[in-house]
Every structure is written in structure tokens, then in C-alpha cells.
Amino acid sequence: MSPSHIRPARHMDEAALGALDRDTWSPLHAVQPRPKPPYDPFFDSNHRPEDFLVAEDPDGTITGYIRLIPPTPLACNQHVRQIQGLAVADRARGRGIARALLRASFDEARRQGAVRMTLRVLGHNKPARALYEAEGFAVEGVLPGEFYLDGQYVDDVMMGRSLTV
């Protein structure tokens, strides 16, 4: 079963998205420490509702999100969009939500005029890397040992894909 609806985020989604973000925190993908109260707002000047797509069940429960932004403010780089965040609620895993969010982000990026999509993923996050590869992303670079997490050095893997094929 996939989500019934993927839509742009709204300001009123902030509490649900913040809770989802905290609930899905994992050393598999996080480079920041586990969030502790008092929690920062989910939306701020660098994380605006218009940067997010959300997946929601028919009852309106948000089950996932993806953040899609230009990788830099440079005009010469505006043909690229970068995924900077993808989360799916544990209770909703295995339903194709991450794949649906990725595909919706490709459509949204194209709507915004992008012809290329990039992302960064931790080297040890094999499930995410497999999903990205299945959706057309290829490894374009690796920063070996870029992060020191939980007592070990972890690679930062850069992946990209064309949006024109």
C-alpha cells in the first residue's frame, strides 16, 4: 500500500513533521546528535514549508517527507535540485513511500526547471543507497572518512542523476 497523497508541506504540518523527524532519527543517516528538548522549530528561514513534499495517509496522518532545494544560491547552479532530507515513519515502512516521495520530487524539480538531481548519503546507509540506485542515481564522488560518528569514520557519498531521461 502506498500513500494516498503526496503534497507540498504547509505551515500547519510543522508539529507533525518535527515529531516525524525526531522519531526517525538514526545513526544510519544522521550527522547531528539525537535531538533533545527543547526542540528547535522544524521550519525556519533555511527550512521553509515550500521546500518539502509530504506523504500522508487517507486519514491525513503524515507518513513521510522529502526536502528539495537548490544546492547553492548561484544562478549558474539553478538547473540542479538537491535532496536534503528524506524520512518515512517506521510504522509506514515497506509501503513504497520513500520511492513515491523520490518520484514526486523528480516531478517537482522538473516543474521548477531543474534537469539534474543530487544528494549526499552516508556510506554505511546501504538501504538508502540501494533505493537511490534503483531510482537512477549513480555515485559521483566519495569523501572518505568525512564524518566521525559513534567512534568510526564514515564516508560521505555524493550521488546524482539526470532528470531528462
**Tens-digit pLDDT profile for residues 12-68:** 999 999 999 999 999 889 999 999 999 999 999 999 999 999 999 999 999 999 999
Residue 106 — φ and ψ, nearest 5°? Answer: -65, -45
**Tens-digit pLDDT profile for residues 103-127:** 999 999 999 999 999 999 999 999 9
Q: Is the CB of residue 47 less than 8 Å from the CB of residue 67?
A: yes
Strands (DSSP E) contained in the chain are: 5-8, 52-56, 62-69, 80-88, 116-122, 138-149, 152-162
The grid cell for 44 is: 525556519
The per-residue pLDDT for 28 is 87
Per-residue pLDDT, averaged over 2-12, amounts to 85
Tally of CA atoms within 13 A in the half-sphere of 94 that contains its CB: 2
Determine the angle formed by the axes of helices 97-111 and 126-134, rounding to 10 degrees: 50
> Of all residues in the chain, what percent carry a pLDDT higher than 70?
98
pTM, entire model:
0.94
